[in-house]
Amino acid sequence: MDLEKSFNPKHIENHWYSQWESAGYFKPATDENRSAYCIMLPPPNVTGTLHMGHAFQHTLMDALTRYHRMRGYNTLWQPGTDHAGIATQIVVERQLDQQNLKRQQMGRETFLERVWQWKEESGSTITRQMRRMGTSCDWTRERFTMDDGLSRAVTEVFVRLYREGLIYRGKRLVNWDPVLQTAVSDLEVVATEENGSLWHIRYPLEHADDSGTEQTNALIVATTRPETMLGDVAVAVHPDDPRYQHLVGRHLRLPLCERTIPIIADSYVDLEFGTGCVKITPAHDFNDYLVAQRHHLVPINIFTLDAKINDLAPVEYQGMDRFDARKRIIADLDAQGFLVETKPHKLMAPRGDRTHTIIEPMLTDQWYVAMDSLAKRGLEAVAEGEIKFTPDNWTHVYNQWLENIQDWCISRQLWWGHRIPAWYDEDGNVTVAHNLEEAQKLSGSSNLKQDDDVLDTWFSSALWPFSTLGWPDETPELKTFLPTSVLITGFDIIFFWVARMVMMSLHFTNKIPFKEVYITGLIRDAEGQKMSKSKGNVLDPLDLIDGITLPDLIAKRTTGLMNPKQAESIEKNTRKHFPEGIQAFGTDALRFTFASLASHGRDIKFDLQRCEGYRNFCNKLWNATRFVLMNCESKDTGLDESLPLSYSAADQWMISRLQQAEQRIELAFTQYRFDLLAREIYEMVWDEYCDWYVELAKVQLNSQQDSIHRATRRTLVRVLEAILRLAHPIIPFITEELWQKIAPLAGKQGASIMCQPYPIANTTKINQQSIEDILLLKEIINACRNLRGEMKLSPALKVPLLAVGDSQILTDYSPYLLALAKLSSIEIQAGGLPAADAPVAIVRDFKLMLRIEINVEAERERLSKEITRIQAEVSKAQTKLSNPSFVKQAPATVVTQEKERLVTFNKKLDDLTIQLKKLN
């Protein structure tokens, strides 16, 4: 036997992955007669590194891919990365900053050369890390959204949509990042609760009656952004508000500005909020923009693209930064008697996820896709059952967004990305074409300038399911793998990615992009908290695989932080969450943990203790394999069918349980219940095979009959070999290593477990009688063990068992009972159990008693002392839990642990009290 004594995950992981990849096992088959199965990897950002969400979703995708590959499907897991327009440009510009260079100084072409250089040197970090997770993508087909082929697809889609009238250019309100100076998507805007102020400002009525009250002479408007009042075009009140109905149509003098604005009535206004008067600034608020459109009001943009006050505002504020202008405006309002009051106010501030600056709604010229007709087809595909969401509740979310869809802003004011294929002549006339030559031919002009903007990254991502397969060419891959089988992704990009892929695929290929969408939950820490660097609870999947000491973990998290206070906070929180660092669990244990957590819920609590439990599982499987090798290697394992085999009830039970597990696992894969299939594998290996069958097999291997030995060894190796194939999609490395050793003993041949057929249940092998027989045997053994525990018997002490019940069953079971219950003998009592102080166990029609002399007085004394000790523990736990400050301030895990201790102590106290009563 050449299997190492202990399981060393790092050694086998490094060895097997390179073997798999170099052998080409990840490539799809060329057999056209096979059913196709395809998963598209949601392309991670080229700037990214592997995080817990990636590792979790990739585990599920890989499990499905390996499973279907072993089921004989023509299987493709299509990998690739996204060019991540904004993120990548920021990374490279920050590098240039260190050299005192600006991209504007370099020029567009030189800057883009620098970005491509960075991509080649540093842009493959995440794909290298994915290999550590065992992902079996076909890396020979790896794609990048800026590859020539995918770029060609992007241009083709843009040109076709434009010529179909579905792409247009217009001035509309967008999310604007003043630092990046580009439009950004909603996904790139993070709303954070912050402390702010609510300023109440007096807007005087034009031609007000000096004898009137304050209410009739002015309207009071509340705002959190007083600088935007310079762009006000109206004040709105609710049409049913009796306080202001008589004022609708009148005009107000806009404070600090030499103009008047109308009072309008609109149901957008909340009657109950504030004063019931809302300033309307359509150029700088999305809701106000819609109100202005309904009332035909012309927006006034008072910001430059870098968020300074422009020349449409009063001269004294022009050129000022928006927040400096806010201070000046507040002071001027106060000095001129327009500021009524200032109140503290909690608000949700929209910040850019990359720059953390406040995002401004900004009126700019952008390119848009008209979405109505595209959305209609997307809705129909789901309504008609062509696409199914799991869990089903996400169908409603998908439908709701498409039913209320807005036109999609697809242009970005960046240099890195797919440049918009539109050219302008000297008069500003636009020509959309595949290239410059075509544009010149169509426009009749040789003096053309290409649009400076690039396309939103989500535009190229929306084409991912078919562009990666070679579209617009009619490739064999496109014919074979579209529609793909399932998309696995998070709920947060149903709108930005999932829905857009559906619409684009239907429009350009007349096929759905995928048949099913499995929406996963979010990974949180063990207490349900969102993982964040500041909280110190972030986990790096590679740290879990390789392990990391506390000092190295702290250094990793605080290196590069410019703020010493922030570094101190992160170090403190890291010590709190990981006081002993993180031990190495290996890839298989981490993958098993992810699978076990993948229920159909939204939030997933990741607990390191579960990782430790699955590392122990891997050790258990390893040690069981060592036992099988020691007892079966170079011995008869029943491969010669001509020799007799005597299968015991235990053998038939183990074979039956294997078939049941195969049935349940197949169903779990079908329903995306990775948690259930992980549990089935765990229970099958740990509880049934290792804890029971191996122990029963030891008894059988001590038999004198060769046919029993042969059947036992055959069952040991064949069931273990099937278990390894069952578990391979979840834990690929350890199963490959062990399969290589076990397969020859089971009569299996092949270069890799990956190429073996996945086990399929054979229901004719389910022997119900053997299942019932072994269930009874297990109950009797457990009862005997419980009796030993009650009587505090040493594990080394063998004692006689007195039993009443079916003598034939007891005789048949006796070899197993003697070994597994540590009995010296079994005495079948025809006339009933003798009167004694010893406890009695009842199992169905059987009564069991261990015959042992008990010093009643000494046992009473022992039990009394133990009861006194447990009562003290109960009292201590109750005192803690009755203390409100403990329950409120202690971590939730500590409180839960204390409650569990109290339950355990109370149970133990009840058991001890019953024992003492028996002795009395």
CATH number of the CATH domain containing 337? 3.90.740.10
Q: What is the DSSP string of 809-824?
A: HHHHHHHHHHHHTTEE
Task: State whether 793 and 875 are in the same domain.
Answer: no
Task: State whether 672 and 780 are in the same domain.
Answer: no
Binding-site residues: 533
Which residues, 6 or more positions from 331, have their beta carbon under 8 angstroms from its beta carbon?
Answer: none
Q: What CATH number corresponds to the domain at position 842?
A: 3.30.2320
What order do you get walking across the sheet with 449-450 strand by strand?
A: 430-432, 422-424, 449-450
Contact 469, 431 (CB under 8 A): no
Task: State whether 109 and 221 are in the same domain.
Answer: no
Contact 448, 440 (CB under 8 A): yes
In a domain, 75, yes or no: yes
pLDDT mean over 48-76: 95
In this prediction, residue 209 carries a pLDDT of 60
In a domain, 431, yes or no: no
In a domain, 546, yes or no: no
Contact 603, 522 (CB under 8 A): yes
What order do you get walking across the sheet with 74-78 strand by strand?
A: 74-78, 36-40, 484-490, 514-520, 388-390
Task: State whether 381 and 472 are in the same domain.
Answer: yes
**In whole angstroms, what is the distance from residue 759 CA to residue 736 CA?**
15
In this prediction, residue 876 carries a pLDDT of 87
Binding-site residues for ATP: 533
For the ranges 158-162, 246-250, 838-842, the maximum mean pLDDT occurs at 158-162
Task: State whether 848 and 866 are in the same domain.
Answer: no
In this prediction, residue 216 carries a pLDDT of 60
Task: State whether 784 and 755 are in the same domain.
Answer: no
pLDDT over 80 (residue 32): no
In this prediction, residue 210 carries a pLDDT of 52
pLDDT over 90 (residue 911): no
Share of the chain above pLDDT 90, in %: 73
In a domain, 578, yes or no: no
pLDDT over 60 (residue 513): yes
Provide the pairing of β-strand 823-828 with 454-455: unpaired
Nearest Cα neighbor of 154 from 410, 501, 418, 367 is 418
In this prediction, residue 1 carries a pLDDT of 60
Report residue 830's pLDDT band, with 50, 70 and 90 as the boundaries. confident
According to DSSP, residue 254 is labeled -
Task: State whether 37 and 128 are in the same domain.
Answer: yes
Task: State whether 380 and 249 are in the same domain.
Answer: no
pLDDT mean over 484-494: 93
Provide the pairing of β-strand 260-265 with 799-804: unpaired
In a domain, 728, yes or no: yes
In a domain, 799, yes or no: yes
Helix residue spans in 43-83 (DSSP H)? 52-70
Q: Is the peptide bond before 391 cis (omega within 30 degrees of 0)?
A: yes
Q: What CATH number corresponds to the domain at position 151?
A: 3.40.50.620
Pick the last residue of a domain from 525, 540, 562.
Answer: 525
Contact 222, 291 (CB under 8 A): no
Amino acid present at 326: R
List, for residues 460-472, the tens digit of each pLDDT value.
999 999 999 999 9
List, for residues 125-148, the tens digit of each pLDDT value.
999 999 999 999 999 999 999 999
In a domain, 421, yes or no: no
In this prediction, residue 211 carries a pLDDT of 46
Report residue 11's pLDDT band, with 50, 70 and 90 as the boundaries. confident
Pick the last residue of a domain from 505, 525, 545.
Answer: 525
Q: Which two tokens stand for residue 787?
A: 């009796």
In a domain, 498, yes or no: yes
More confident call, 352 vs 835: 352
pLDDT mean over 493-515: 96
Residue 174: strand pairing partners: 362
In this prediction, residue 22 carries a pLDDT of 96
Q: What is the pTM of this model?
A: 0.87
Domain that holds residue 756: 619-762
CA 31 to chain centre: 34
Number of independent structural domains in the chain: 5
Q: Phi and psi dihedrals of 241, rounded to 5?
A: -85, 110
In this prediction, residue 533 carries a pLDDT of 74
Task: State whether 750 and 886 are in the same domain.
Answer: no
List, for residues 737-777, the tens digit of each pLDDT value.
999 999 999 999 999 999 999 999 999 999 999 999 999 99
Task: State whether 266 and 377 are in the same domain.
Answer: no
Task: State whether 723 and 795 are in the same domain.
Answer: no
Q: Phi and psi dihedrals of 131, rounded to 5?
A: -60, -35
Pick the last residue of a domain from 360, 394, 426.
Answer: 360
